Copies of this chain bind each other. A is one copy, B any other.
Amino acid sequence: MMTDRKLGEFELIERFFAPLATGQGAAGLKDDAAAYTPQPGHDLVISKDMLASGVHFFPDDPPEAVAAKALRVNLSDIVSKGARPTGYVLGLGLGADMPENWVERFCAGLAADQERYDISLLGGDTISTGGKIVLSVTLFGEMPSDGIVRRTTAQAGDLIFFSGTLGDSSLGLQLRLKPELAEISGLSHEDLAYLKQRYLLPEPRTAGYSAVARFAAASMDVSDGLAADLGHMCRAAGLIADVTVESLPLSGAARRWLEADQNIWPWIVSGGDDYELLCAVRPRDRDAFLAAMRETGTHVTEIGRFGLQDDADPGVRFNKGGTVVAVEGPGGYRHV
């Protein structure tokens, strides 16, 4: 309880974590706390997501990918608020049975993403959980004061935009959980690999943060599925959202699978793990928002519009060929 809880912590820090602490305030992780100096006139935006082995990732996922996912689910939160990511503190709960080089490979994954997203490790804590691996990342971003873009501030008439493609990660997860789906889906090896990779490695739309900050009226990232998360935006603002099913951005792989089996539809709209941007944009800001997103190479698609609540429940209506369709089925949440 006492003597083993710090076992090897100092060695781990010196060998693997200290090289990641490139910022000055981290003091080479030789202290109990980090100093962080925000730019004058800027707010911090803070995100915290935890991940547990067997719940948010598979125990046999490559450690590099686990590291990347732990950072990227938080990066996705931060940029959806319009902030530029800057650094993070890491809580690493090591499991009872860890492969010999797990921490080394995990740190290699952190290093690669620090480079890719221009962020630095600021500090953290390493413990032994005595059970499963549990990761806790607190990620920081900065933006001009009082500029944070909330998820609660959509208005009737706002246009709804979605980045990237929808549902790939959810389909990838289903393929991991039920390998027999690979054959049933009739998809090519490339399509199957693409979907599984989309689950393994989120691709947060970090380049789009400034377009969000400048032109989005409300924004969040989609992690619990489009139906659920757009539903949150609606309820927070007392609105409905009319989504045009035909406009939803699907990858080739998702489109081909959906053409072969309409039953996968709920996985696509409700499965989660998309880590794409979901933005409400005033009609007058539409062109500027699209231009700013295009400038950063971030693909966004207009998928619908917020409206005044016309019955008891605020919520999402998926419209297909003029008819409202339900979002229920295998693995799906219950929403209409």
Residues of chain A having any CB pair with chain B under 8 Å:
1-3, 5-6, 25, 27, 30-38, 40, 43-52, 54-56, 77-78, 80-81, 83, 89-93, 122-132, 134, 136, 138, 141, 145-146, 148, 150-152, 170, 173, 177, 220-221, 223-224, 236, 271-273, 331, 333
Contact = CB atoms under 8 A, between A and B. Distances in A.
Contacts of A333: 3
A80 B32 contact: yes
A84 to B, nearest CB: 13
Given A33-B78, A43-B36, A90-B48, A129 B138 contact: no
A125 B77 CA distance: 12
A121 to B, nearest CB: 11
A174 B320 CA distance: 67
This protein's copies in its complex: 2
Q: Describe A's contact surface by its main secondary structure.
A: mixed
Contact of A31 (B81, B124, B127): B81
Contacts of A46: 33-36, 89, 122-123, 138
Given A40-B40, A44-B44, A130 B132 contact: yes
Given A89-B46, A272-B2, A31 B152 contact: yes
A220 B32 contact: yes
A44 B50 contact: no
B89 A130 contact: no
Which of A38, A54, A77 has the most chain B CB atoms inside 10 A of its CB? A38
Nearest to A141: B33
A148 B92 CA distance: 25
Given A32-B220, A52-B127, 6 more contacts: A2-B173, A33-B47, A35-B81, A44-B44, A51-B127, A55-B129
Contacts of A32: 47, 77, 80-81, 151, 220-221, 223
Given A40-B40, A151-B31, A91 B145 contact: no
